[in-house]
Every structure is written in structure tokens, then in C-alpha cells.
Amino acid sequence: MSLSLWTHCRLATLQADTTPAYGLIGDGALVVDGTQLAWVGPRRDLPAALRKRCSAQHDCGGALVTPGLIDCHTHLVYGGDRAHEFEARLHGASYQEIARRGGGINATVQATRAATPEALTAQSTVRLKHLLAEGVTTVEIKSGYGLALAQEHKCLQVARALGRSHPVDVRTTFLGAHAVPPEFAGRADDYVDAVLAMLPRLHEAGLVDAVDAFCESIAFSPAQVARVFEAARALGLPVKLHAEQLSDSGGATLAAAHGALSCDHLEWLSAAGASAMAAAGTVAVLLPGAYYFLRETKLPPVDLLRHHHVPIAIATDCNPGSSPCTSLLLMLNMACTLFRLTPEEALAGVTRHAAQALGLPDRGVLAAGQRADFVLWDVHSPAQLCYALGANPCVQTVFNGQPR
Ligand code: NIG
Ligand code: FE
């Protein structure tokens, strides 16, 4: 296999706990061997023997190079939109009221069930392309707008197929416990039984990389979520949780007890929840798009997470109800302006810590042995990626060793 050399770049390796910040290397070089990084470091340290083996050379034109971005929490595959609910909220209705009236997630369930796989693919492709244009190389996509076996199967298959038809790694998460669908209204426990019946079938079909649930007064109780988690763990599947978004339900403590990869949202996270997450190595995925779009006022307890050394990831939460967002760069800015993350924390949140939130140790930093997923940016400093609003300085993305 031939090697290729990438030079004339600054590298933000995003390796943990490095000095200088961001793992910055001023005059860097990368050697790609097939789909992997074979060598990463200052150009002057590149061994001559390795340089000689490089048959292709790429001049990065002075670009900043980061790991490929990872959007570790999306609901990208859905039918319809909810602009009418956005409008209703501007006339005074709340997100919870709309959900209780049968709108909200269930409005999207209706539109998603009515959509053909082709129609779902077409509208989801538009969203995926926005993410890819900003250097995303791994994206997690949740189900949860089908809420019946054939419908969840359809959505997960569309998600998987998007990963085959585009240069991006798609990780699929089964979110059957997202809402109680109308045919189970008032019978949440019966619906959880149905979720438990769907899970092994979808797993057998190879459609499930992880299992998620929505723990909230308008969704599922901790006891109901625990049943889903037990079933997932029995199949050897990792779990994650929409936890403490609108209230403190104790979801984070429950998820940590099941060794969850991540707890997501977390505006109402308690000190006990944070310390349980720290002990379990659970990542905190913060979703500034949903906080912004729902005009929440309760900030996630970032200082508490820092105090407990809980790794923080950032994602778009791309979905039609609470975060109709397809820009991970905008989320970097919002993580800094709204949540007061430092740009270095925010960038680790869409690289190293996002990889951890998906249980993927082979990506998220620039280092030998990692996947060759990286992005060239026309910026001088990593902070510029967080600072601008609406700019896209992505010059080139390399996915799995191939420029795309
Ligand atoms: O992450 N919190 C639950 N699920 C989504 C919202 C889904 C919707 O409103 O359609 C979220 O915010
Ligand atoms: Fe979500």
C-alpha cells in the first residue's frame, strides 16, 4: 500500500492534556497509510526513511488540520418539518404543551411513517450534505420517529444506506423509547414491551450500534428506561440517554449505573448525577442548539462537569422539533457563547470526546494508528472555528484516507 505525505500545515491534534493547547504543532506533517494515519508530528522530526516511502505528496497551503469532526447526536432521518410548531411557540405555546396535545415528536412520527424510504432518503441527504460540507466524517443517527418495528427498521435502514452512499461513517442508535406513539396512548408500559420486542429484531438485522431513550415527564420514567437498558445490555449493546433536558428525573444516575457511553442534554443535571457519570466514564453530550431553539434558561452545569472531570462533547441534535440544525460549526460557537466552554473544550467536544460518546477509540485525535479522517481549514487559529458565525472555512476533508 502506498503512503502519502501531507505537509505545509499546522496541526491541531486535539490529543488529551497537551501543551501547547489543542495539541498544536506549528509546522506539521501527516503520513497516511491506506485508511490510517501512519505518522503525525513536527515536519522536522519525520524520519527520512518514512519520507522516502511516500509516493504521493500533498501541500496543505498553510491550512490548519484537525481530526474529522464527529456529530455524536442527531435525529437526522425524519419526515416533514415542524415549522408550524415553531410558529405556535411564538404565539405562546410551550414545547411540552405541544407534545401533550399530540404534536411534538408524534407529529414527526406521523410524517415519518407516511414517507417512503426514497422520500426520507432525499430529505435526509440534504441535511447530511450540510454536515459533510463542514468537515463531519462520523455522524450518529438515531431512530425514534417510527415507533413500530417496520417503521423503525425503515428509518435505520435509510440511515445505514446514507453511510454507504456518502463518504461518512454513520453510526446508528435505536431510540424506540423516544415517545409513546398514539396507538399506545396512556399505555406507556405496554409500549415499552413493544420496544423490547423490536430491539432483538433490529439488532439481528445489523441495524443497531447503540440504544438510547428519552427519560422525561413527557416521555419515559427511569423505571421504564431501566427495562430498555437491561435488554440492550443483555444483547451486549451500549446505551446512552436523553437525560435531564427539561427536568431532573435522575436519568443520568440510572444511565451511569448501566455504564452508558453518554448522557445528553443535561441542563438539569444534579451533583449526584455528575459524580455518577464521572465514576462510570460516561460522556456529557451538550446540545446548545436545543437549548437555544427552545429558549431554555437553565444552563447545563459546566463547572460541575469540569469539577468531576466528565468529558464534554458537543453535537447538533439535528431534529425537527428542538434543534433543526445542520451546522456543527455553529454549535461550536453556541457552546462557547451560551455555555461558556473554551474553544479548546468545544473542539475536543466535536472530536476526541464525541468519539468517546460513540465508543470509537479509533478516531477523534490526530495520532499514528488512528483512522485517516481529517479536515483542512482556511483559518490561522483553532479558535477561529468557534468564533465565526455562518462561515465555512473547510477547504478539504479526507475521509478514510481519501480526499472527498
Ligand atoms: O433531542 N429530547 C428528545 N428528543 C429530541 C427532540 C425530538 C423532537 O422534538 O422531535 C431532542 O431534543
Ligand atoms: Fe436528541
Is the CB of residue 106 below 6 angstroms from any atom belonging to ligand 1? no
Ligand nearest to the CA of 96: 1
Residue nearest atom 3 of ligand 1, based on CA coordinates = 214
β-pair type (240-243, 210-213): unpaired
Nearest CA to ligand 1 atom 9: 321
| Interval between CA 378 and ligand 1 midpoint (Å) | 34
Establish how many alpha carbons lie within 13 A of residue 232's alpha carbon, considering only the half-sphere containing its beta carbon. Answer: 29
- CA-175 nearest atom, ligand 1: 4
Integer angstrom CA distances of residue 110 from 80, 82, 125, 147, 175: 9, 12, 20, 10, 16
User: Average pLDDT for residues 233-262, to the nearest whole number?
Assistant: 97
28 lines ligand 1 (CB under 6 A): no
Rounded to whole angstroms, the Cα distance separating 331 from 8 reads 29
Distance CA 149, CA 202 (A): 8
Residue 18 has pLDDT above 90, yes or no: no
Mean pLDDT of all residues in 64-72: 98
The finding on whether 363 has its CB within 6 A of some atom of ligand 1 is: no
Beta bridge partners of 72: none
Q: Quote the ligand 2 centre to 326 CA distance (angstroms).
A: 13
**pLDDT for residue 214:** 97
For atom 5 of ligand 1, which residue has the closest CA?
A: 322
CA gap 156, 223 in Å, rounded: 26
How much is the mean pLDDT over the chain? 97
Residue 317, ligand 1, Cβ within 6 A: yes
Site to substitute for ligand 1 among 319, 323, 325, most atoms within 8 A of C-beta = 319
Q: What is the mean pLDDT of residues 260-267?
A: 98
Ligand nearest to the backbone CA of 177: 1
Span 83-108, average pLDDT: 94
> Is the separation of the CB atoms in 129 and 59 below 8 Å?
no
Q: Looking at residues 268-278, what average pLDDT do you find?
A: 98
Q: Which residues contact 321 (CB under 8 A, 6 or more apart)?
A: 82, 85, 95, 104, 105, 107, 108
CB of 244 within 6 A of ligand 1: the answer is: no
Decide: pTM greater than 0.85: yes
Distances (CA, A) of 232 to 72, 155, 239, 282: 19, 19, 7, 17
Relative to the CA of 104, which ligand 1 atom is closest?
9
Average pLDDT over residues 9-33: 94
List Cβ neighbours of 211 (8 Å cut-off, separation of 6 or more): 173, 174, 175, 199, 228, 229, 231, 232, 237, 238, 239, 240
CB 212 within 8 A of CB 237: no
Strands 402-403 and 394-399: antiparallel
Q: How far apart are CA 167 and CA 173, in angstroms?
A: 19
pLDDT digits (tens, 9 = 90+) for 337-376: 999 999 999 999 999 999 999 999 999 999 999 999 999 9
Q: What is the 278 CA–ligand 2 centroid distance (Å)?
A: 21
Give the number of whichever ligand sits closest to the CA of residue 141.
Answer: 2
Amino acid at 313: A
Triad 355, 357, 362: Cα angle to 5°: 25
Nearest by Cα to 287 from 248, 259, 238, 321:
321
pLDDT computed for residue 318 by the predictor: 98
Q: Given a cut of 80, is residue 1 above it in pLDDT?
A: no
322 lines ligand 1 (CB under 6 A): yes
Strand-pair partners of 32: 4, 37
Ligand 1 pocket mutation, candidates 105, 318, 323, criterion most atoms within 8 A of CB: 105
Interval between CA 50 and ligand 1 midpoint (Å)? 49
What's the length of the chain? Answer: 404
Which residue out of 140, 141, 145, 242 has the highest number of ligand 1 atoms within 8 Å of its CB and is therefore the one to mutate? 242
Please state the atom number of ligand 1 nearest to the C-alpha of residue 264.
1
109 CA from centroid of ligand 2 (Å) = 14
Q: How many CB atoms lie within 10 A of CB 227?
A: 18
What average pLDDT does range 117-121 have in this prediction?
A: 98
How far is it, in rounded angstroms, from Cα 326 to Cα 306?
27
pLDDT, position 93 = 94
pLDDT of 217 strictly over 80: yes
Domains annotated for the chain, with CATH where assigned, are: 3-68+367-403 (2.30.40.10), 69-357 (3.20.20.140)
Nearest atom in ligand 1 to 290's CA: 12
242 Cβ closer than 6 Å to some ligand 1 atom: yes
pLDDT tens sequence across 225-239 = 999 999 999 999 999
State the residue for C-alpha cell 440544525: 325
Q: Write down the pLDDT at residue 2.
A: 82
Q: Which ligand is nearest to the Cα of residue 71, counting in written order? A: 2
Q: Percentage of the chain surpassing pLDDT 90?
A: 97
Q: What is the mean pLDDT of residues 105-114?
A: 97
Looking from the CA of 107 toward its CB, the CA atoms found within 13 Å total: 19
At a CB cut-off of 8 Å and minimum separation 6, what does 99 contact?
105, 106, 179, 218
**So what's the pLDDT on residue 274?**
98
Interval between CA 394 and ligand 1 midpoint (Å) = 29
Query: What residue type is 352 in one-letter code?
Result: R
Q: What's the pLDDT at 321?
A: 96
Instruction: State which ligand 1 atom lies nearest to the alpha carbon of 321.
Output: 9
Instruction: Assess whether the C-beta atom of 74 lies below 6 angstroms from ligand 1.
Output: no
367, 40 Cβ separation under 8 angstroms: yes
